[in-house]
Amino acid sequence: MEHMVDLDEVDDEANTIVASPQRTGFLPIVTNWFDRVFVGIYLFVALELFWMRLLEQSIPLSVCHVLAIVLGVLIVWRG
C-alpha cells in the first residue's frame, strides 16, 4: 500500500513555520552574522590588495590594517 502525501497540506505547514528574524542594517541586503563576517573578510582582503598596489608607496600598510579591521568590525556589528 502506497502512502499518499497531500502537497497542499505540506505547503500550509511550511508557511506556518516562523523563521528567525533577520537583521537589516546599512548593507543593501538582509544578512545574518555569518554573511557580515564573510563580507568583512572579503573587504579586508580587497582593501589590502588595493593598498599594496596603489598606496603603499606613500602610506604604510599598518594604516590599512587598522582601517580594514575597523571597517570589518563596523560591518559585523552594524551591517
| β-pair partners for 23 | 31
Evaluate whether 68 touches 15 at the Cβ level (below 8 Å). no
Residue 55: other Cβ atoms inside 10 A: 14
The confidence score (pLDDT) of residue 14 equals 61
The confidence score (pLDDT) of residue 10 equals 64
Over residues 14-68, the pLDDT tens digits come to 666 555 566 567 878 888 889 999 999 999 999 999 999 999 899 999 999 999 9
Under the banding of pLDDT at 50, 70 and 90, the label for residue 4 is confident
Domain ranges of the chain: 23-78
Give which of 33, 28, 42, 32 is closest to 71, Cα–Cα: 42
CA–CA distance, 72 with 79 (Å, rounded to integer): 9
Instruction: At 46, list the grid cell.
Output: 580587497
pTM of the model: 0.62
